[in-house]
Amino acid sequence: MYDFNRIIDRQSTANIKYDMREKFFGKDDVTPMWVADMDFETPDFIRNAIVERANHPIYGYSFRQDSYYSSIIDWVKRRHNWEIEKDWIVYSPGIVPALNFSTLAFTKPGDEIIVQPPVYFPFFTAISDHNRIELRNRLLLSNEKYVIDFDDFEEKAKTASMFFLSSPHNPVGRVWTRDELKKLGDICVDNNVIIISDEIHNDLILPGYKHIPLASISEDIANITVTCIAPSKTFNIAGLATSSIIISNEELREKFEKVINSLHLSMGNLFGAVASEAGYTFGDKWVDSLMQYVGGNFDIVKSALGVTNGAIKLIPPEATYMAWLDFRSLGIDDEEIKDTLINKAQLGLSHGPIFGEEAAGFQRINLAAPKAVVANAMEKLLAAFNF
Ligand SMILES: Cc1ncc(COP(=O)(O)O)c(C=O)c1O
């Protein structure tokens, strides 16, 4: 029904993934499979809504209408079985900004914030940029599955003020179970730790898995949780700088809003609001088809890596469109892996160690691309490592 096979030329559209290859990889001819946006077209119901609004010739100061909020409320109920209220929803120009607003709103210099590396690297800077202290509750890799070290988490929660959770987790691709989330949430409730639950990948769940919003688990957990969601990853509209931060606790919400308002960032983006509403209103079938297709791309990677007999492994994915590849058995260092990928395979991947030293020997490859591109990338990767 949707054409995810179409190869779209993105060059010279001022996009980071293609047009900044020279800067990030030292050459502009690598197949770019790094930055987390998709090479699939943004769905037509979003493009049409933007064009319709753009056809009105004035783009002045704007606000978000009731229909914007009800589309979010209905989507979250329909897709994630969580009932939220309009008053709980705060606009943010992005989720990385929201992580930083949270640091400013809920902590002070010298406070400790827990992260679970390997993790999306802006989690680290949302701590260090504001002179807060990072506590690393490292994920454990057990039988090719990342799990949480709860004993260590409980210890760190005793002194921490806040916790940045990635759920589903980028880059390891876990969809945390209700039990795992409840355990984390209960520890934070017992220790007065505020949780910033970054759920930006919540809609990108592979068939067979189910995302649970952390704040839907209990009233006590909701009371200490700030949930970050966005249509940006879901519908490939990251350039429109629009996300929603859901905070049911009024006191936390006021503190958060105070930071955004003091920076005068609450107006947002006219076209972002139009796109968000269209996506959340009409996007169900499209997202379901997308994740079916992405699941097929993971199968291509898995079967291609079969010839390596375990020398290069795919960590079994549960969510997101990013594959987490384990090169450790090759016994070569990160610089050599990187050099081989860029210069022999002509591929631009995300280098594992940017997600923390815990990710030495890993690389992240973005599979939100037509099958032919993914298959070709795997051929080049295998040849470059002599398989
Ligand atoms: C876990 C996570 N949080 C946040 C973002 C980016 O959020 P934004 O573009 O809304 O700042 C990404 C993008 O890759 C991500 O993976």
* Domain shared by 241 and 145, yes or no: yes
C-alpha–C-alpha distance, residues 95 and 330, integer Å: 36
DSSP state of 148: -
115 and 240 belong to one structural domain: yes
112 lines ligand 1 (CB under 6 A): no
Please work out whether the CB of residue 368 comes within 6 Å of at least one atom of ligand 1: no
DSSP secondary structure letter of residue 340: I
pTM comes to 0.98
Is the shortest distance between the CB of 202 and ligand 1 below 6 Å? no
pLDDT at 1 over 90: no
Question: Using a 6 Å cutoff on CB, does residue 200 contact ligand 1?
Answer: yes
Domain end, chosen from 282, 306, 337, is at 282
Residue type, 185: G
Residues 167 and 261 in one domain: yes
The verdict on 276 and 353 lying in the same domain is no
Q: Are residues 82 and 160 in the same domain?
A: yes
C-alpha–C-alpha distance, residues 18 and 264, integer Å: 32
pLDDT at 46 over 90: yes
Of the residues 217, 251, 282, which one is the last residue of a structural domain? 282
Give the residue from 259, 282, 305 where a domain finishes.
282
Residue 310 is assigned to a structural domain of this protein: yes
Closest CA to 274 of 31, 108, 55: 55
231's tokens: 């249509």
186 is a domain residue: yes
370 found inside a domain = yes
CB 199 within 8 A of CB 227: yes
Look at residue 63 and tell me whether its pLDDT is greater than 90: yes
**Coil vs helix vs strand at 279:** helix
Query: Can you give the pLDDT at residue 38?
Result: 98
Cα separation, 212 vs 177, in Å, equals: 7
Q: Is the pLDDT at 370 greater than 90, yes or no?
A: yes
What is the reported pLDDT for 25?
97
CB 379 within 8 A of CB 301: no
pLDDT of amino acid 70? 98
How does pLDDT run across 3-39, given as a tens digit for each residue? 999 999 999 999 999 999 999 999 999 999 999 999 9
CA of 347 to the centre of ligand 1 (A): 22
d(CA 242, CA 48): 18
Q: Which of 33, 101, 115, 120 to mutate to test the pocket of ligand 1 (most atoms within 8 A of CB)?
A: 120
The finding on whether 107 has its CB within 6 A of some atom of ligand 1 is no
Summarize pLDDT for 206-255 with one digit per residue, the tens.
999 999 999 999 999 999 999 999 999 999 999 999 999 999 999 999 99
The two tokens of residue 41 are: 């077209």
Is 28 a member of any domain?
Answer: yes
168 part of a folded domain: yes
The model's pLDDT over 290-348, given as tens digits with 9 standing for 90+, comes to: 999 999 999 999 999 999 999 999 999 999 999 999 999 999 999 999 999 999 999 99
Whether residue 301 sits in one domain with residue 222: no
Q: Cα of 6 to ligand 1 centre, how many Å?
A: 25
Q: State whether 137 and 256 are in the same domain.
A: yes
Q: Is residue 124 part of a domain?
A: yes
Ligand 1 centroid – CA 200 distance (Å):
6
On whether both 139 and 273 belong to a single domain, the answer is yes
Helices assigned H by DSSP within 107-207: 122-128, 150-157, 178-190
User: Do 225 and 127 share a structural domain?
Assistant: yes
Per-residue pLDDT of 73-106, as tens digits, reads 999 999 999 999 999 999 999 999 999 999 999 9
For residues 250 and 221, is the Cβ–Cβ distance under 8 A? no
Give 246's DSSP letter. Answer: E
Whether 355 lines ligand 1, by a CB cut-off of 6 Å, is no
Bridge partner residues of 165 (DSSP): 197
Ranges of H-type helices in the chain: 16-19, 21-25, 44-54, 66-80, 95-106, 122-128, 150-157, 178-190, 219-222, 231-235, 250-262, 270-282, 284-305, 334-339, 371-384
Q: State how far the Cα of 185 lies from the Cα of 318, in Å rounded to an integer.
A: 21
Contacts (Cβ under 8 Å, ≥6 apart) of 29: 21, 346
CATH no. for residue 353?
Answer: 3.90.1150.10
Q: Which residue, by CA, sits nearest to atom 16 of ligand 1?
A: 170
Number of domains in the chain: 2
Looking at residue 260, what is its pLDDT? Answer: 97
361 within some domain: yes
Does residue 169 sit in the same domain as residue 252?
Answer: yes
Sign of the Cα torsion 86, 127, 160, 175 reads positive
Cβ neighbors of 307 (< 8 A, separation 6 or more) are 382, 387
Q: Are 200 and 232 a contacting pair, CB within 8 Å?
A: yes
HSE-up of 204 (CA within 13 Å, CB side)?
30
Domain identity same for 249 and 323: no
User: With bands split at pLDDT 50, 70 and 90, how would you rate the model's confidence at 139?
Assistant: very high
CB of 320 shorter than 6 A to ligand 1: no
> Between β-strands 362-366 and 350-351, what pairing exists: parallel, antiparallel or unpaired?
antiparallel
Helix spans in 167-283 (H): 178-190, 219-222, 231-235, 250-262, 270-282
Which helix (H) or strand (E) element contains residue 355? none
Residue in the block written with tokens 């490939």? 236
Q: Are residues 147 and 204 in the same domain?
A: yes
- Ligand 1 atom closest to residue 35's alpha carbon, by position in its atom list: 14
**Closest C-alpha residue for ligand 1 atom 13:** 36
CATH number for the domain that contains residue 263: 3.40.640.10
- Tell me, yes or no, whether 1 lies in a domain: no
* Cα–Cα distance, 116 to 120 (Å, whole number): 9
Q: Which residues pair with 319 in a beta bridge?
A: 205
Ligand 1 lined by 237 (C-beta under 6 Å):
no
Count CA within 13 A, CB hemisphere, residue 362: 23
What residue numbers bound the domain in which 374 lies?
Answer: 16-43+284-384
Is 276 close to ligand 1, i.e. is its CB under 6 Å away? no
